[in-house]
Amino acid sequence: MINLGAAPGGWSYSALKRGARVTAIDNGPLKGPVASHPHISHLKVDAFKYRYNRSHPADWLFCDILEKPEVILELLHEWLSRRWCRRFVVNLKVGRTDPILLLKKIRDTR
């Protein structure tokens, strides 16, 4: 599993408890038991600059980054178009964005 925007580590910890091996991508520190877990690899890089460089896609991409939904959707589009992951969970921080227009935009990208 790849976790973009991993710090402080909540999503990673949840996956680790279920037996996953996690690559946590975040400039910030991981905290608590996730920081020293034997099945986590923490890469201290910007999630937007990280490039997946393995020969097979990740089973899961988790993305929980505080950024405009349009920016996150562009990032997700890159991961999907390059076939870097098989499945994904993305948290969109709607805030001031009209959620109905955002859902239409997501639907129109298929």
- Which pTM value belongs to this model? 0.87
Per-residue tens of pLDDT for the chain, all 110 residues: 999 999 999 999 999 999 999 999 999 999 999 999 999 999 999 999 999 999 999 999 999 999 998 899 999 999 999 999 999 999 988 877 777 887 777 777 65
Whole domain around residue 23: which residue ranges? Answer: 2-108
Q: What is the pLDDT of residue 46?
A: 96
The torsion of the CA quartet 102, 105, 109, 110, rounded to 10 degrees, works out to 80
Per annotation, catalytic residue among 17, 31, 44, 93: 93
What's 102's domain CATH number? 3.40.50.150
Overall number of domains in the chain: 1
Catalytic site residue 93? yes
